[in-house]
Chain A
Amino acid sequence: MKIHEYQSRELLQSFNIPVPGGVVIDTADQAAGAFKQLADGGATLAVVKAQVHAGGRGKGGGVKLVKTAAEATEAATTILSKNLITPQTPPEGVPVKKLLIASGVDIAKEYYLGIVVDRAQGCPVLMASSEGGMDIEEVAANTPEKIIKEPIDPDKGLLGFQARKVAFAIGLQGKQVGQAVKVMMNLTKLFLDTDASLVEINPLVVTPSCDKHPQGEVLAIDAKIDFDDNAAFRHKDLRKLEDPDEVDASEAKAAEFGLSYINLDGHIGCLVNGAGLAMSTMDIIKLHGGEPANFLDVGGSATEEAVTEAFRIILADDGVKGILVNIFGGIAKCDTIANAIVGAAKNIGFTVPLVVRLEGTNVEPARKIIEAAKSEIPTMIVGSDLTDAAKKICDATAA
């Protein structure tokens, strides 16, 4: 599960990680008030930021620097008035419903701080870099030596000496070190306590010297947090942070029925059991010249009802010109799938070509069900094996 930046900031604050002042608004007429509130706190400029999950907001005009209340209102009006298009959104963009107006901060230097799961080591790993504010993947690709990594004990968390080691390694000095150590330890605590799968502060900044902080202040300017969905059962409070507008409606509907569905851009719908086979089915479609319209794993314990719903979801996509059903029965039984096909033909109706390939548990009764239903489902074609099925659906849907 992903959350918005303003929610991530609130979470950081609750774990005692300092962030600049900020106000969340959902209409443009609140912008001036928000700016004044920040100005009263000493801010001389502010940043108006669109709250959408997609990255690259700045490139799409979703982040604007403002110096007055009037400018804040103008920026808010502009951003809220249309869909935000960034390199990470669909071509039509996404609607913006909330804005974060955050105090502008003078920056002496930017850093990167993140925690991810190191799959190979089987533990969380803290990553830090002196190259903050940039795309960290680019830093990793071009100057990997500038990323400092420190493994985290999943039971004990980050230890003090580890945090100090990292702080010195990225070039922090004097009082900044103590502040950064606190941020790292608290960020680790956040990661472990909330079952996060990714936490990222980019940039973490040091402010210029001032009376209150002669050696600068360490602040988290932008944050990104993802959570492990498998741990949702012990974080009911965090689930409330999920923004239903950011969840694909078809994918959410599929999840209700225990289906794992991901919408893609192609024209051949796929209904498969097992994630690996579902991915491979997409691959073999592409190999034979087609484009998959979705990833869909009906799972091991698929009921007729769930499979029928799967067909409904696939066919709701206007781009779908044909469907490939690929089942290797293990726990999932071929006859259940065959009955679901017949049922879906009655309840939904197949107007597009449907190629069916069944193998594994209960395949013989399933073949009989399919054979008997052929006359009722004129668009249905039987695939004798995986390649045959892939070729047939690609041929049947070729423009």
Chain B
Amino acid sequence: MSILVDRNTKLICQGITGSAGAFHTKGCLDYGTQVVGGVTPGKGGQKDAHGLPIFNTVSEAVAATGADATMIFVPPPFAADAILEAADAGINLIACITEHIPVLDMMRVKKTLSQSKYDGQRLLGPNCPGIITPGKDGATPGSAEAGCKIGIMPGYIHQPVGSGKSGKNVGIISRSGTLTYEAVWQTANQGLGQTTCVGIGGDPVRGLNFIDLLELFEADPETDGIVMIGEIGGTDEEAAAAYIKANVKKPVTAFIAGRTAPPGRRMGHAGAIISGGEGGAEEKLDALRDAGCHIAESPADLGTTMAKALGI
């Protein structure tokens, strides 16, 4: 099992003819994702380098291919519109990889998506690496051993469910891309497989959040433990801690990046800033500790802390 995406997920890429969109479409295809087409307005009717059909609009793409997921590589000025187009076309999972989208655009997107007609449709990101349910790297898309990679993560580091020597599996949730890879790498080295790994993105206003995914991982029978990677800025980790305390029985390993970050400075991610006495790492760690999470004090201890919590 997995959450949100699996080998049956049918993916399109919005911005498929751009350099990043084309490059990562190939990466997802090569990994074994069912990529069924792409969207670039004005290039409808053409095919990409891999023979995938290109459509002018998302709704055309959905009608022709049955796509239920999209990854967005549209440049920042047009990305919010691309998200709303995907939602309007009924796409279930909208993964927005684009970085540097104005915060106001995301606030407006969030407000629109909160309408009841979009219930059940989910936005991941923006400014995120995407989501992966590991399968065999290079499997035939849709085959029994295939997984689903949506986004920019290096597929080969992931360990499909049950393939780790411990037989146990974890779910990973992170605000940071490369730290997600670090968690994947370290848990795989501990003999753990991953059910699904989700990068929720480094922006202050985003779609899916820790709590949404904690709920899904808690309910997923194959997920034995959860790795949660937060960072300075905002109070989402504190909210997640309260949720964990009340609702999550599975062991959660938590790490917070930015303990040494100076207040008032934006540490790369638009959302990574300690401001107004809020968003510091220690408050987050205290809340997570109080919720019974297993804290990784060092970013090098993500795998060992999770393994220990799972009794390995």
* A-to-B contact residues, CB < 8 Å: 116-117, 119-120, 122-124, 136-137, 140-141, 153-155, 192, 195, 197, 228, 230-231, 233-234, 260, 262, 264, 272-287, 292, 295, 297, 300-301, 328-331, 359-361, 385-387, 390
Contact = CB atoms under 8 A, between A and B. Distances in A.
B309 interface: no
Interface SS of B by simple majority? loop
Interface of B: 20, 76-77, 100-108, 110-111, 129, 152-154, 157, 174-179, 181-182, 185, 202, 204-205, 229, 231-236, 239, 255, 257-262, 265, 267-272, 276-277, 297-300
Contacts of B174: 276
A57 B153 CA distance: 46
Q: Chain A binding site: helix, strand, loop or mixed by DSSP?
A: mixed
B107 A122 contact: yes
Given A117-B205, A360-B154, A361-B154, A279 B232 contact: yes
15 contacts: A119-B205, A119-B236, A122-B205, A195-B102, A197-B103, A230-B76, A231-B104, A274-B268, A276-B177, A279-B231, A279-B258, A281-B299, A285-B260, A295-B267, A386-B299
Given A233-B76, A330-B154, A120 B235 contact: yes
Contact of A330 (B102, B181, B235): B181
A231 B102 contact: yes
Contacts of A301: 20
B305 to A, nearest CB: 13
A283 B107 contact: no
A283 B110 contact: no
Contacts of A155: 108, 111
A238 to B, nearest CB: 13
B299 A230 contact: no
- Which of B104, B234, B298, B300 counts the most chain A CB atoms within 10 A? B104
Contact of A230 (B100, B110, B179): B100
Contact of B257 (A230, A283, A390): A283
A276 B270 contact: no
B277 A275 contact: no
Contacts of A330: 129, 152-154, 177-178, 181
Nearest to B101: A230
Given A276-B269, A387-B298, A264 B176 contact: no
